[in-house]
């Protein structure tokens, strides 16, 4: 739900139901990073009700578009985090497997194997 | 010269500007922007300066574009065991890290026992206490293989796991402790027969049970080698004295931690900022936390 004015669409309050700090803080962070935004913040009107109000004020662009762009940026950021995380896990598992093999070879043969990295 | 006055003001878009030169902030501002200092009485600079125009008067761009984020972001795994994991995320803000933590605790689906059909319980553990304990039991199964069960759905092999528990302590024998290894998986569905009002005359049809399994869950390839069992078979559920008996059937469904904490996949998840120690030349140690 968007509470704004018909004449000036650069400032609006978006009310999201069934949401909490998890998405509101993340969206507020990405909104702040956008240079078109002059003010953005979020509030939770009542803790028992799962509703979040996000206020966006921009330098002229419609607030709806800026919010959509911020959500898109957040999605891309999370996608990048996911791929980096997966790769880091694979690298860790690979390096651990190599270490385990090196320890085995040292125990069985008794000579040091050279580390070539 | 007055030449500049005659020029036209062209409209340009903010995205067409060349990259704002990243000048350097003076060191005390850089400290304030990027470090939380732990002073003697309280930490200072705890709120992160996220606003993109915060240092605009100095000509420094505080916004973080996606490409700069992608270049600077790194993940380093410190420890990875079967049951716990620790890793460093470098280049991310506390807001996003906290969102990940919240999602880990409350919004990842798992399977947990939801309905317990008790046929017989003569133990001293009350029905609801027994059902509550069974709900908190962790089940070793991949929740991605199952679907959610909503109110209108019938419980079938795609959204329910059925367990059975039948223990009895005979008169004259010592007290027994009921552990989780007594919980048996029923891959063919429920065995308790529903009582129907009108007794049908055809006894050849299969009696109606509480679940409607189309096929057995055993034949699904993931479960052939790994049968579904609780993760820790030595958790104590109840204790029975002589002459007491428990007979029940438990149905496990998929859910998320927001509805009930039994569906939370993590024992807990937390994050902290990377600590950085700086020793002052006056030989007093100043501790800070690095964002």
Q: What is the pLDDT of residues B30-62, one digit of tens each?
A: 777 777 777 777 777 777 666 766 666 666 666
A107 lies in a domain? no
Least confident of B28-37, B172-181, B256-265, B277-286: B277-286
What per-residue string of b and e applies to B62-101 under the rule 16 or more CB within 10 Å gives b? bbbeeeebeeebebebeeeeeeeeeeebebbbbbbbbbbb
Under the banding of pLDDT at 50, 70 and 90, the label for residue B280 is low
How far apart, in whole angstroms, are the C-alpha atoms of residue A77 and residue A83?
10
Q: CATH number of the domain that B243 lies in?
A: 2.170.120.12
**Span A96-100, mean pLDDT?**
77
User: Measuring CA to CA, which residue among B76, B61, B74 is closest to residue B25?
Assistant: B61
Tell me: pLDDT of A20 over 80. Answer: yes
How far apart, in whole angstroms, are the C-alpha atoms of residue B124 and residue A16?
48
User: Measuring CA to CA, which residue among B178, B187, B186 is closest to residue B233?
Assistant: B178
Predicted confidence at residue B2, as pLDDT, reads: 39
Residues sharing a CB contact under 8 Å with residue B213, sequence separation 6 or more, in sequence order: B156, B157, B188, B189, B190
A104 lies in a domain? no
Predicted confidence at residue B69, as pLDDT, reads: 80
How far apart, in whole angstroms, are the C-alpha atoms of residue B109 and residue B258?
10
B13 lies in a domain? no
Q: Do A88 and B63 touch (CB under 8 A)?
A: no
- Give chain B's contact residues with A (Cβ, < 8 Å): 14, 50-53, 61, 63-66, 69-70, 73-77, 80, 87, 89, 92-93, 95-96, 98-100, 102-103, 106-107
B259 lies in a domain? yes
Q: What is the ipTM for the molecules in this complex?
A: 0.80
**Span B250-255, mean pLDDT?**
91
Those of residues 22-51 in A touching chain B at CB distance below 8 A are 22-23, 25-26, 28-29, 32-38
Least confident of B148-152, B194-198, B214-218: B194-198
**Span A9-15, mean pLDDT?**
87
On whether both B174 and B252 belong to a single domain, the answer is: yes
Q: Measured between CB atoms, which of B80, B92, B95 is closest to A25?
A: B95
**Span A22-38, mean pLDDT?**
87
A76 versus B193: the higher-pLDDT residue is A76
B281 lies in a domain? no
Centroid of chain to Cα B57: 43
Under the banding of pLDDT at 50, 70 and 90, the label for residue B88 is confident
**Span B61-89, mean pLDDT?**
81
A73 lies in a domain? yes
Predicted confidence at residue B5, as pLDDT, reads: 42
B56 lies in a domain? yes
Predicted confidence at residue B24, as pLDDT, reads: 65
> Taking all residues of chain A, what is their mean pLDDT, rounded to a whole number?
82
Please give the share of chain B, as a percent, with pLDDT higher than 90.
21
Tell me: pLDDT of B255 over 70. Answer: yes
Q: Measured between CB atoms, which of A26, A38, A92 is closest to B77?
A: A92
Q: CATH number of the domain that A10 lies in?
A: 3.30.1360.10
Number of separate domains in chain B: 2
On whether both B31 and B157 belong to a single domain, the answer is: no
Predicted confidence at residue A97, as pLDDT, reads: 78
How close, in Å, is residue B123 to chain A by CA atoms? 39
How far apart, in whole angstroms, are the C-alpha atoms of residue B97 and residue B94?
5
> Taking all residues of chain B, what is their mean pLDDT, rounded to a whole number?
79
């Amino acid at each position: 739900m968007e509470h704004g004015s018909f004449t000036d669409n650069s400032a609006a309050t978006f009310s999201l139901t069934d949401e909490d700090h998890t998405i509101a803080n993340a969206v507020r962070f990405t909104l702040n990073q956008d240079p078109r935004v002059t003010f953005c913040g979020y509030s939770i009107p009542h803790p028992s009700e799962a509703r979040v109000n996000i206020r966006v004020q921009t330098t002229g662009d419609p607030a709806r578009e800026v919010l959509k762009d911020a959500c898109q940026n957040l999605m891309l950021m999370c996608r990048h985090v996911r791929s980096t995380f997966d790769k880091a896990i694979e690298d860790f598992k690979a390096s651990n497997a190599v270490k385990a093999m090196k320890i085995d070879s040292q125990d069985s043969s008794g000579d040091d194997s050279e580390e070539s990295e | 010269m007055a030449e500049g006055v005659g020029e036209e003001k062209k409209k340009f878009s903010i995205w067409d500007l060349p990259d704002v030169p990243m000048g350097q902030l003076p060191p005390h501002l850089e400290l304030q922007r990027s470090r939380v200092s732990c002073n003697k009485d309280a930490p200072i600079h705890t709120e992160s300066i996220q606003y993109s125009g915060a240092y605009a008067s100095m000509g420094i761009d505080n916004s973080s574009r996606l490409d700069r984020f992608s270049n600077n972001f790194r993940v380093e795994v410190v420890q990875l065991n079967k049951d716990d994991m620790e890793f460093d995320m470098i280049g991310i803000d506390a807001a996003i890290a906290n969102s990940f933590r919240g999602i880990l605790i409350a919004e990842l689906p798992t399977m947990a026992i939801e309905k317990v059909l008790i046929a017989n319980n003569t133990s001293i553990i009350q029905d609801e206490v027994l059902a509550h304990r069974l709900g908190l039991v962790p089940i070793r199964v991949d929740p991605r293989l199952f679907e959610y069960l909503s109110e209108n759905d019938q419980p079938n092999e795609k959204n329910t796991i059925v367990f059975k528990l039948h223990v009895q302590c005979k008169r004259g024998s010592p007290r027994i402790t009921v552990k989780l290894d007594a919980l048996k998986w029923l891959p063919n569905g429920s065995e308790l027969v529903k009582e129907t009002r009108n007794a049908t005359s055809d006894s050849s049809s299969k009696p109606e049970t509480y679940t409607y399994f189309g096929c057995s869950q055993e034949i699904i390839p993931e479960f052939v080698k790994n049968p579904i069992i609780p993760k820790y078979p030595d958790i104590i559920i109840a204790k029975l004295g002589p002459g007491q008996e428990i007979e029940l059937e438990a149905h496990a469904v998929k859910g998320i931690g927001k509805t009930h904490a039994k569906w939370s996949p993590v024992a807990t998840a937390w994050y902290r900022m990377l600590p950085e120690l700086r020793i002052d030349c006056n030989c007093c140690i100043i501790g800070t936390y690095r964002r």
